[in-house]
Structure 1
């Protein structure tokens, strides 16, 4: 098996991205392990950078019509 250096999100839907973000939040809240919220924040920060939006605008976009 080849090592994966980068992961692409091209095939993920808005719903999938929202589920990942919400799952990381939920897991952090229920385990108190900061790794989950740090991963969530890192993903959201990168996506906001790529879309040139704020976190609030990006999350609202994902939640729209879901």
Structure 2
């Protein structure tokens, strides 16, 4: 299991990332479990840091042409 200490998103498409984000939002809304929105926010925060964008800019980028 040490082989998966770091997860890479290089192979994920914009559509895949958008689906993950939206699925986490949907699951949070329908279960009330904050772990899902916390994970969504953590992913978005890290991706915004890596791309030097705001959350709004990054989500808009994912939503365009999908």
TM-score (norm 1): 0.96
User: Secondary structure of the equivalent of 1:22?
Assistant: helix
Aligned to 1:32: 32
Question: Which structure: greater helix fraction?
Answer: 2
For 1:5 and 1:28, the matched residues in 2 are separated by 26
In the alignment of these two chains, the number of paired residues is: 65
For 2:35 and 2:6, the matched residues in 1 are separated by 19
Aligned to 2:8: 8
Q: What RMSD over aligned residues (CA atoms) do the two structures have, in Å?
A: 0.6
Structure 1 segments of 4 or more deviating over 3 A?
Answer: none
Structure 2 unaligned runs (5+)? none
Structure 1 unaligned runs (5+)? none
1:12 positional shift: 0.1
